[in-house]
Structure 1
Amino acid sequence: MRLVRLIANLGYGSRREVAMMFREGRITDADGEVLYADDKREHHEIRFDGEPLDPPAGLCLMLNKPLGVTCSARDVGRLVYELLPERFSLRNPALSTVGRLDRETSGLLLFTDDGALLHRIISPKSSVAKVYEAELAEDLRGDEAALFASGTLTLESEQTPLLPAGLEPLGPRRARLTLHEGRYHQARRMFAAAGNHVIGLHRVSVGGLSLQGLGIGEWRLVELTEMQTVFSRGSAA
């Protein structure tokens, strides 16, 4: 692949804009030598304004999503893509969220441009654990853990029972919930089915990936070796 196309596909600009960047000397190798559009270099050898290029297709990153931000590229209000460098929204193939967190849910959100990886993570067949901490309007009754683990709980307007889920009380009105599927507003609807109401929801991990001190609104790239922990059995927080 020609360097102009490679760098344009990473979202640094249109092909015309990237061609201009070559003429301006902004594309170099690791030693600072200016590159030309028809040069041949390995991805890891190329620098843009002195910095290594973003990873090629197969990129995965994590974001500590704040409250009040929507998991959409086009919507009203603040969008998750606005928290990332603009070039990430211009990549080809496109970067997508791995599932969604609603506007009033914070915490770990993954992005990838690898469609197969995205579908593998969200598929119930993969049984990837998604762990949430919930703040509730009412005290826990004490029977919620058995109800959620039963595999018989059916949400309103649905026909198929939920997969067994784990619940660990963290206080009278706080709980850690572990899900292995991702139905619409599932955590909130589960507590509603148990006669309670979620007033705060935060996702702390997906498989073996956790926020690891990432501040609210901050993001980082996820290494390929880290992604393997997503599918590790028993990796829930």
Structure 2
Amino acid sequence: MPRLDQLLSSLGYGSRKEVADFVKKGRVLWRGEVVKRPDQKVEASDVRLDDEPLEAPDGLLVMLNKPLGHVCTHSDGEGTTVYELLPPRWMARKPAITSIGRLDKDTSGLLLITDLGPLVHRYTSPKAEVEKIYEVTVDRELDPALITTFASGSVLLRGEDKPCLPAQLEITGPLTARLTLMEGRYHQVRRMFASQGWHVEKLHRSRFGDYRLGDLAPGEWRVLELPDVK
């Protein structure tokens, strides 16, 4: 069992010194009893802070509907980050939360965020082949021949020597389409359309693996049940 001060610190509740202060003020219970020492060994599931259970002690997985204009980076100076939409305590977790893959500043939609390294690897490994669906708006009328082209597995992106995996394209309007991918290369959707002479004007991800946005509004998030990460 972990020490209480280590546990609360790793979950972003405060430094060890701050946890010691929580204990001194009687704010922490373990199995219904007031904790007397910050170094007491505890089980996370039996700890209460201010009479509330600890948040996601086994790790976080969050679905965010990323708005336009936000970036998926921890670096300063690159603009408003997606992490500013989330509770500040999550960034203090150890390890801190990070996005599973990225959506660029001009792309909206479903973004998964976690503090579990195995989940990041599971969903971003080149061998993962996680299905992702994008809603696309382009600058000129779409040619139905693109459906066959994208499905052929022969689309080559500029600067790369390995063609994209076959992708499913559904044309939903003169300027709109739905593209289903099984990989996640850098700016892949925009580059695929550019390789055939189209410019993507709007891009939105509506699905990532088994996860769908549903009625989640832009800027809103939802904590998800953790899958098996072993």
Q: Same fold (TM over 0.5)?
A: yes
Distance, in Å, in 2 between the alignment partners of 1:51 and 1:35 is 14
Distance, in Å, in 2 between the alignment partners of 1:173 and 1:22 is 60
1:137 paired residue number: 139
Worse-matched range after superposition: 207-216 or 97-106: 207-216
2:9 paired residue number: 8
Alignment of 1:151-230 (within 5 A): 151-224=153-226, 227=227
What RMSD in Å do the two structures reach over aligned CA positions?
A: 1.7
| Counterpart AA for 1:79 | T
8 A contact 1:165–1:179 mirrored in 2: yes
Distance, in Å, in 1 between the alignment partners of 2:72 and 2:31 is 36
Distance, in Å, in 1 between the alignment partners of 2:165 and 2:206 is 20
Distance, in Å, in 2 between the alignment partners of 1:16 and 1:47 is 18
1:28 aligns with 2:29: yes
8 A contact 2:45–2:57 mirrored in 1: no
| Counterpart AA for 2:155 | L
TM-score by length of 2: 0.91
8 A contact 1:69–1:103 mirrored in 2: yes
Structure 2 stretches of 5 or more lacking a match?
none
Return closer, same or farther for 1:212/1:24 CA change in 2, 3 Å cut-off.
Answer: farther
Distance, in Å, in 2 between the alignment partners of 1:9 and 1:126 is 29
Distance, in Å, in 2 between the alignment partners of 1:204 and 1:213 is 11
SS of aligned partner of 2:23: helix
Alignment of 1:90-101 (within 5 A): 90-101=92-103
Distance, in Å, in 2 between the alignment partners of 1:35 and 1:107 is 43
Alignment of 1:33-52 (within 5 A): 33-36=33-36, 37-52=38-53
TM-score by length of 1: 0.89
| 1:177-218 deviation digits (Å, cap 9, x = unpaired) | 111111111001111112111111111111111113222111
8 A contact 2:135–2:204 mirrored in 1: yes
| 1:76-106 deviation digits (Å, cap 9, x = unpaired) | 2211111111111111122211000000111
Distance, in Å, in 2 between the alignment partners of 1:215 and 1:35 is 41
Worse-matched range after superposition: 46-55 or 123-132: 46-55
Worse-matched range after superposition: 100-109 or 112-121: 112-121
What's the % identity of the aligned pairs? 52
Distance, in Å, in 2 between the alignment partners of 1:163 and 1:19 is 54
Structure 1 stretches of 5 or more lacking a match?
229-237
